[in-house]
A and B are shown apart, each in its own frame.
Chain A
């Protein structure tokens, strides 16, 4: 009787036929990928394709007219220049700030956890709301002017956001943009820092590295994959800067995404708007390729 049971159990264990198992392991990853792929296809690839078509047609026929109109516009070069300038200032500032913040968070200082929450607040605020918050700081009767008046500097108030003061206007936008998205970079870098085993930092210390040497020769090189991701994501988002700019200075500082919006809304020309969108995408792609090459981590250098 007992032997019978044992026998049955053995055959039951043998039962799953190898071919079925084989098929499952081959196809399983694709099943699991399918929902994501479908989502990307419907909401990203298809609209992108449509925009591409839209950008190269006029009245239903193929034409380079929209691209031409975009390039001939008086604001074309200004928008590109402003966007690039903003990116060149905001992205490095964010990376440096985020690096300092995340290094402080992992340093084990007392109360570091509290800072994480405070620093993550901008993540939960929409672009437009962030723009409005900074507007209340920078406008003619804003907090900044009140503070300056309180300190006895300039009773009349300074129009930071006026087109008559392009530098202060630009810097105000840069500060607001930096504030808004530094947290995103910080979260990526923090995640990267947390997976670096602490043995490496300890080895660096034991072998004589100062804090700065340790960061420079051990932490940063090992953080390279995360830096790469953060830079790519942040730069792409910087090319798309829009809501904060609009909320703070409106048309006074034309940027690329704003131009797309203007052509689509005010000028009712979806084709030129699509051309702008296409241009932003080209910028993003070129930039991503540059980062991937410049910060490439060779396989053999990974832990």
Chain B
């Protein structure tokens, strides 16, 4: 049990062109499940390895609990780690693997056995304690790796893409199990993944990373609904958030954003930015689609955007429609019985409070 603080961590690998971590600061609360999410190569593993003591930062401070650990070797950090490759020792039985850390720390043998058995029970490994890893499936090996970590009752549990080597079905099943397990043991956890679904489903909070920097740290639904940058919006969610380019104008004292020949009412905060370009971010499921023109004139119904259906993809539970508005495409989710087809007109109503307004130059959100 401990909180983690990363303060202004920077790291460039010898021979590396760009820094793998740039001035990263992050605080993980005691017992929190923090997910580091980002595309491959953005520096997630590097950050995790610096927490573990397998790499050292060039500058910055790391504290775990009330101890500064920046320069301590891994074994003095009271951490445990689940490796992406599992790194389960092939020459040891499952029991010996799980007991490894306790033995290295010279725990008395009569305490090791019950603790190993308890961890094995939590991960349903009891029948396999006498087996060697080569006699286990990938999923079982992964369980051994997790058991070996939790048996230590570490202050901090680190996991590097622990599900990425499992097949899709197993991943789904183990994800839920892992979530329950970590909830039960209440250990501060830092979990690395490039899979946004995993991040959303597991994290108490998500730290989204890009090119060695943390772009946004927030609860999963906040990251999903209120991305602070275009990058976060398009990295998280399937389909990614739609971003439409528009420009700000003023009409009867109200700010408006025009997208091609269509227009949206904009928040007053944008009123000073007349003439500027703006990005309108909206998720596919936050747009209502209608097949008929709104009554009461062309733009009478406020936020309606008139467009044309381009592609219709039935996805079982819903339809995914690709529509075009003034030359820009966006995705919309509708009921399966929505009457449309390629080339037919469509009217779209974005939910006002779900729209994100971003500056196209910096990609950062306009505070509204």
A210: CB under 8 A from chain B? yes
User: CA–CA, A298 to B79, complex, Å?
Assistant: 32
Interface residue B80 (Cβ < 8 Å from any Cβ of A): yes
Given known pairs A207-B80, A301-B90, the reply for A202 and B54 (CB within 8 Å) is yes
B134 touches A208 (CB 8 A): no
Q: Which residue of A lies closest to B104 (CB)?
A: A208
Indicate whether A221 reaches chain B with its CB closer than 8 angstroms.
yes
Q: Say if the beta carbon of B170 comes within 8 Å of chain A.
A: no
Closest residue of chain A to B84, judged by CB? A199
A199 to B87, Cβ gap below 8 A?
yes
Cross-interface CB contact of B85 among A199, A210, A217, A297, cutoff 8 Å: A199
Contacts of B85 in A (CB 8 A): 197, 199
- Chain B residues with Cβ under 8 A from A1's Cβ? none
Q: Say if the beta carbon of A300 comes within 8 Å of chain B.
A: yes
Instruction: Report the minimum CB–CB distance from A297 to chain B (whole Å).
Output: 8
Give per-residue flags for A283-303: 1 if the beta carbon is below 8 A from chain B beta carbons, else 0.
000000000000001111111
Q: Give the bracket for the number of chain A residues in contact with chain B.
A: 20 to 34
- A205 is an interface residue with CB less than 8 A from chain B: yes
What is the minimal beta-carbon distance from A214 to any residue of chain B, in angstroms?
Answer: 9
**B135: which A residues are within 8 A, CB to CB?**
300
In the complex, per-residue mask of B43-80: 1 if CB is within 8 Å of any chain A CB, else 0: 00000000011100000000000000000011100011
Known contacts A213-B104, A302-B134; A206/B89 CB under 8 A: no
Given contacts A208-B105, A301-B134, A303-B134, contact A221 B91 (CB under 8 A): yes
Query: Given the interface contacts A197-B85, A202-B83, does A207 sit within 8 Å of B90 by beta carbon?
Result: no
Q: From known contacts A208-B104, A213-B104, infer whether A197 and B87 are also in contact, taking CB-CB under 8 Å.
A: yes
| CA distance in complex: A224, B52 (Å) | 29
Q: Does A218 contact B (CB under 8 A)?
A: yes
Contact B90 A209 (CB under 8 A): no
Q: Among the listed B52, B75, B87, B131, which residue makes an inter-chain contact with A209, where contact means beta carbons less than 8 Å apart?
A: B75
Q: Known: A213-B104, A301-B91, A302-B90. Contact between A203 and B134, CB under 8 A? A: no
Known A-B contacts A301-B132, A302-B90, A302-B134; A207 and B104 likewise in contact (beta carbons under 8 Å): yes
Quick one: which of A200, A202, A205, A207 has the most chain B CB within 10 A?
A207
Q: Report B291 CB to chain A, min CB distance, Å.
A: 42
- B75:A206 contact, CB within 8 angstroms: yes
Determine the chain B residues whose CB is within 8 A of the CB of A222 once the complex forms. 89-91
CB atoms of A209 and B80 under 8 A apart: no
Q: In the bound complex, do residue B134 and residue A300 qualify as a contact, i.e. CB atoms below 8 Å apart?
A: yes
From 65 to 115 in chain B, residues with beta carbon under 8 angstroms from any chain A beta carbon are 73-75, 79-81, 83, 85, 87, 89-91, 100-101, 104-105
Q: Give Cα distance in the complex from A209 to B105, angstroms.
A: 8
**Pair B87/A205 contact, Cβ less than 8 Å:** no
Q: Does residue B331 face the partner (Cβ distance < 8 Å to A)? A: no
A203 touches B81 (CB 8 A): yes
Contacts of B79 in A (CB 8 A): 206
Q: Is there contact, CB below 8 Å, between B89 and A210?
A: no
Determine which of A204, A206, A298, A301 lies in contact with B80 in the assembled complex, contact meaning CB atoms within 8 Å: A206
Q: Is the CB of A205 within 8 A of B75?
A: yes
> What is the CB-to-nearest-CB distance from A201 to chain B, in angstroms, rounded to a whole number?
9
Point out the residues of chain A lying under 8 angstroms from B73, CB to CB.
205
Given A222-B90, A222-B91, A301-B90: A203 and B132 within 8 A (CB)?
no
Instruction: Please tell me if B148 contacts chain A, counting CB pairs below 8 Å.
Output: yes
B315 CB, nearest partner CB in chain A, Å: 34
Q: Is the CB of B89 within 8 A of A203?
A: yes
The distance from the CB of A48 to the nearest CB of chain B, in whole angstroms, is: 36
Q: Please state if A207 and B134 are interface contacts (CB–CB under 8 Å).
A: no
- Across the two chains, which residue of chain B brings its CB closest to A209? B104
Chain A residues near B74 (CB, 8 Å)?
Answer: 202, 205-206
State whether A200 and B134 are in contact (beta carbons under 8 Å apart), knowing that A206-B81, A209-B104 are contacts in the complex.
Answer: no
Residues of A within 8 A of B330 (CB): none
B13 CB to closest chain A CB, in angstroms?
13
Cβ–Cβ < 8 Å partners of B91 in chain A:
221-222, 224, 297, 301
Residue of A nearest to B132 (CB): A300
Report the separation of the CA atoms of residues A204 and B90 in the bound assembly, to the nearest whole angstrom.
Answer: 13
CA distance A205 to B20 in the complex (A): 23
The complex places the Cα of A204 from the Cα of B75 at a distance, in Å, of 9
A sample of 16 more A-B contacts (CB under 8 A), given A206-B74, A207-B101, A218-B89, is A204-B100, A205-B75, A206-B52, A206-B53, A206-B81, A207-B75, A207-B152, A208-B101, A209-B104, A210-B104, A221-B91, A222-B91, A297-B91, A300-B131, A301-B134, A302-B90
Residues of B within 8 A of A (CB): 52-54, 73-75, 79-81, 83, 85, 87, 89-91, 100-101, 104-105, 131-132, 134-135, 148, 152
Those 4 A-B pairs whose CB atoms lie nearest each other, nearest first: A207-B101, A199-B87, A208-B104, A203-B87
A-B contacts, 14 of them at CB < 8 A, read A197-B87, A199-B83, A203-B87, A206-B53, A206-B75, A206-B79, A207-B152, A208-B105, A210-B75, A217-B100, A222-B89, A224-B91, A302-B90, A303-B134
